[in-house]
Amino acid sequence: MRMMFKILLSASLSMILFEPSATIAQNGFAIPADMARYSDVADLVTISPVILDVRIIKIQKLPPEQTIGVDVNIQRTVINADVLALIRGEKEAAAKVRFVLDIPKDAKGKIPKLNKQRFFLLGKAVDKRPDLIQLARPDAMIAYSLANDALLRAVIKEVVQLDAPPPITGIASAFYSPGTVIGEGNTQIFLRAQNNQPFSISVVSRPGRPKQWTVSTSELIEESAATPQTNTLMWYRLACELPRELPARLIESGGGDNIVRAQADYKYVIDALGPCGRTR
């Protein structure tokens, strides 16, 4: 009877704590201790209302009959962990948590030994149960290190600000306005953002000077607006969420030359931002 209860409990946990349609990243179940990228961490923080610092104390492998549909190279497990700290969350953390984790097998069909190892978990509580955590993604874990701890907390600090830049959902419109002398002009690019928050990019060209571009999140173009620094939340929103090209149909301009200039200014911004840097 006890064995049957454990089987039913494990099956229930797997159904509750895991999204069946999700797939594990090719590079493993966690961000390594020495390879965290800003964008990889921001991807997880922005979708995780609960973030915990934990130490794993027990790993229970689920048998094949409870893992139908799981790739044969993946071992689905139920993990028990001690909570060392609540890093993000509206309620108090439980002393211990359980969660489902898919772990890639090695060439011999084995999984790494995780007991006593320390990780950050990113996800949400299940059915208002702080002791049951559903990971935001199958690989929403970050191996503990001082560098990862500092990066994670820096991203969280930006994300929870009231004026944090919202997710960008696309480009609304753009226009190029030529100046009074050759080589002078201004391109305005209005973005679509979550909750209809104002979001725009301005690119200014002056003869004999490098182009200058700034970002504004207010109804008016702010003269004090600045160019975002790499590895900040504003940079992440732009570098990872903007389309690579500005479609001509979105440019409200009176001529083909203006369209070309607006697209050139947009490319200048994309090149200045650089690659998003995701590895997962």
| Residue carrying the six token digits 């060392």 | 84
pLDDT band at 244 (very low <50, low <70, confident <90, very high): very high
**pLDDT recorded at residue 5:** 37
Cβ count within 10 A of residue 76: 23
**pLDDT recorded at residue 19:** 55
One-letter amino acid identity for 83?
V
CATH-assigned architecture of domain 2-159: Beta Barrel (2.40)
| Residue carrying the six token digits 């700290």 | 85
DSSP state of 259: H
Length of the chain measured in residues: 280
pLDDT band at 24 (very low <50, low <70, confident <90, very high): very low
**pLDDT recorded at residue 217:** 87
The stretch 5-12 carries a mean pLDDT of: 46
Whether pLDDT at 168 is above 90:
yes
| Sequence-ordered list of residues with C-beta below 8 angstroms from that of 218, at least 6 positions apart, any chain | 198
With 0.85 as the threshold, say if the pTM is over it.
Answer: yes
**pLDDT recorded at residue 38:** 97
Question: Start-end ranges of CATH 2.40.50.120 in the chain?
Answer: 2-159
Average pLDDT of the residues of the chain: 88
**pLDDT recorded at residue 99:** 97
Q: Which structure tokens are listed for 254?
A: 């009176």
DSSP state of 251: B
One-letter amino acid identity for 12?
S
Sheet holding 200-205, edge to edge: 168-178, 185-193, 200-205, 212-216
